[in-house]
Structure 1
Amino acid sequence: MRSKRKSFMNWKTLMSVVMITAMVVIAACGNSEGKSSGDKVVRIGYQKYASVNILKERGGLAEKLADLKYKVEWIEFPGGPQLLEALNVGSIDFGHTGEAPPIFAQAAGAPLVYLAHSNESPKAESILVPKDSNIQSAKDLVGKKVALNKGSNVHYLLVKYLESEGVNYSDIEVVFLPPADARAAFESGNVDAWVIWEPFYSAAQLATEARVLVDGEGLVKNYEIYLASRDFAKAHDEVIKVILDQIDEVDQWAQNNQAEVAKLLSPALGIDEPSLVQALSHRSWGVIPISDDTIAAQQSIADTFFDLKLIPEAINVSEATLK
């Protein structure tokens, strides 16, 4: 009983830290387009690099939403867990994350609903080790420090990689760090491996000549999932449709103009164009409606995290849909 209580308290402490971080980000990073008193506003949470970020930089959504008499407010987050904590406390209406963050958020009681997802991009996340590291397999990670952003998609990649190689999750020392801190720890040798997603993956690999121990191919699907708060999705389906249609449209453009996308994003992200060109080559494009198969895949992730005591209780993912 004592170990369960300790695990639950650690989880609650983590969620408190995430909430505080999210609120700081919200206060610092909010940006609205043409917002004035009395306007109806949709607040979109986004992360660096993904399709929503491309849409923000390229433009076009504000004009489409204007037809519905809506403005758009963009709020940047360092990762999916922080973004969904903001959704949980009512600070954003719509956002995007990988597969894992909604599991943690639903377990925390966030009123989220799944809307759609991207095509699979398993090569867009990886486990990096220093170029001169002796680590060649999952077994070499036993007793080593592995950095990752807790609750992010790469958390599941690590779990599946260890599982595929017959290594227990408890046999390694997982160090929870956001991307910027994790890269500093990786470059200084304070951690032995780093599980990370694009574009941080390509930026670090090209700058440090880090070696890819494994990427997600054959291990995870790595969807980008689009979500909204339940109340907003139920009351503003026409706004949701416009946003998803615009993401799909910008994806079709980006797929055929990747060098231009890299040039567009580079100043906004502070990442060089060659790193972004490589990152973009690792991902897929398009918007796909949520299906029963997607929910079943999410349920498998949720069950895995519960078995590992990474979430405090079992959840039913289908409850986070509009059905």
Structure 2
Amino acid sequence: MVKRKFRPSAKRIAGLLLLVSLVLSACGTGSGTPEVKGQGEGGSSGTADATIRIGYQKYGTINILKAKGTLDARLAKERNIKIEWTEFPGGPQLLEALNVGSIDLGHTGEAPPIFAQAAGAPLVYLAHEPASPKSEAIIVPKDSKIQSVADLKGKTIVLNKGSNVHYLLVKLLEKNGISYQDVTVKYLPPADGRAAFEKGSVDAWVIWDPFLAAAETATGGKVLANGDGLVSNHEFYLATREFAEKYPDLVDIVLEEADKVDAWSKEHPQELAELLSPQLGIDVESLVLAAGRRDYGIEPIDEELVTAQQSIADTFVKLELIPRKINIKEAILK
């Protein structure tokens, strides 16, 4: 299991001075091999002009980190390292980028790393946020005749394939005695899912915050059920194994700054919403609603989390949603 204390060691700092960036630095050779200057002759410090690539989604702690700018400032000051930020519409898309080497680190919910690991992605779990089961739900249009999850048999439901809400739908159907094969599931990213939902081309939408909150406030969509009592809905921090093993100090810094911004976010939901609204293009009212439904704080990966992830993976295998059985422990740092 990983029990990270988020305190850099002298050994790690020394190792970081040998950092080899996974992208061309501003002082690169032009040959495709990144160049990083470490210690100069006689042990004097040189410049470490490098870039790390972080993927993020709308909302979530890493998104807040980007908006606050505290991680950028610390890495620039202490390590002369820049961040290349890339936004993704959902966790599956983010981990596709990680799989092909386009990013080094990012965040997703519980289901995306399972799909990615089954596809052979070289990912590792770094840490997680507390459970936020009320931050995802299945909704129907305000004038829908559907009154409960039990009414969804034979209906068409849209979701982002491989995301946390995919598992939520599985558990909701199971609880209400409906087979997964008794519904038609369409796969669309959040923006397209919202469009289909508003046009009435689907009967229900399984979605997470802040898209959930925005749909509630803008369309009057009715929540049939959220994840409370069914799923945990953890947010995970993930990286490529190569990055995590080579640069543990950078991982520690990211998690330390995430923990700090989490503490601030928990105490300042209104300010958080006002900070994120211009960046996300989502109104403040919706973001305040979303902020009140999640919990905050960096927690280590432990055996309980591994067991829970393994249970989700095994469920997806049975439903033939992933092509093979996987062992979650293989994606845990030793």
Normalising by structure 1, what TM-score? Answer: 0.88
- 2:239 — aligned with what? 228
Partner amino acid for 1:101?
A: P
Give 1:63 deviation, angstroms. 2.3
Q: Which moved more, 1:221-230 or 1:67-76?
A: 67-76
What CA distance in whole angstroms lies between the structure 2 residues aligned with 1:270 and 1:168? 37
- 1:54 — aligned with what? 64
- 1:290 — aligned with what? 301
What CA distance in whole angstroms lies between the structure 2 residues aligned with 1:162 and 1:137? 11
- Kindly report structure 1 stretches of 4+ aligned residues shifted beyond 3 Å: none
Q: CA RMSD, aligned part only?
A: 0.9
Give 1:69 deviation, angstroms. 3.1
Q: How many residue pairs get matched?
A: 289
Partner amino acid for 2:59?
A: Y
- 2:11 — aligned with what? none
What CA distance in whole angstroms lies between the structure 1 residues aligned with 2:106 and 2:231? 21
% identity of equivalent residues: 61
Matches within 5 A, 1:94-133: 94-133=105-144
Give 1:261 deviation, angstroms. 0.6
What CA distance in whole angstroms lies between the structure 2 residues aligned with 1:234 and 1:78? 28
Deviation readout 1:149-208 (Å, 9 max, x if unpaired) = 000000000000111111101100001011111111111110000000000001011111
- 1:306 — aligned with what? 317
- 1:166 — aligned with what? 177
- 1:152 — aligned with what? 163
Q: 1:89 aligns with which of 80, 100, 114?
A: 100
Partner amino acid for 2:60?
A: A
Secondary structure of 1:288's partner?
Answer: coil
Q: 2:27 aligns with which of 37, 44, 48?
A: 37
CA contact (8 A) 1:68 1:239 kept: no
Deviation readout 1:8-58 (Å, 9 max, x if unpaired) = xxxxxxxxxxxxxxxxxxxxxxxxxxx733422110000011111111011
1:278 aligns with 2:289: yes
1:243 aligns with 2:267: no
What CA distance in whole angstroms lies between the structure 2 residues aligned with 1:118 and 1:205? 24
Which of the pair has more CA radius of gyration? 2
Give 1:137 deviation, angstroms. 2.3
What CA distance in whole angstroms lies between the structure 2 residues aligned with 1:146 and 1:212? 14
Give 1:277 deviation, angstroms. 0.5
Deviation readout 1:105-140 (Å, 9 max, x if unpaired) = 000000000010001100000000111212122221
CA contact (8 A) 2:55 2:88 kept: yes
1:317 aligns with 2:307: no
Secondary structure of 2:26's partner?
Answer: coil
- 2:4 — aligned with what? none
Partner amino acid for 1:43?
A: R
Secondary structure of 1:147's partner?
Answer: strand
What CA distance in whole angstroms lies between the structure 2 residues aligned with 1:235 and 1:63? 22
Normalising by structure 2, what TM-score? Answer: 0.85
1:253 aligns with 2:264: yes
Partner amino acid for 1:49?
A: Y
Structure 2 gaps of 5+ residues are 1-24, 29-48
Give 1:68 deviation, angstroms. 2.5
Partner amino acid for 2:68?
A: R
- Structure with greater proportional helix content: 1
CA contact (8 A) 2:136 2:206 kept: yes
Give 1:62 deviation, angstroms. 1.7
Secondary structure of 1:265's partner?
Answer: helix
1:139 aligns with 2:150: yes
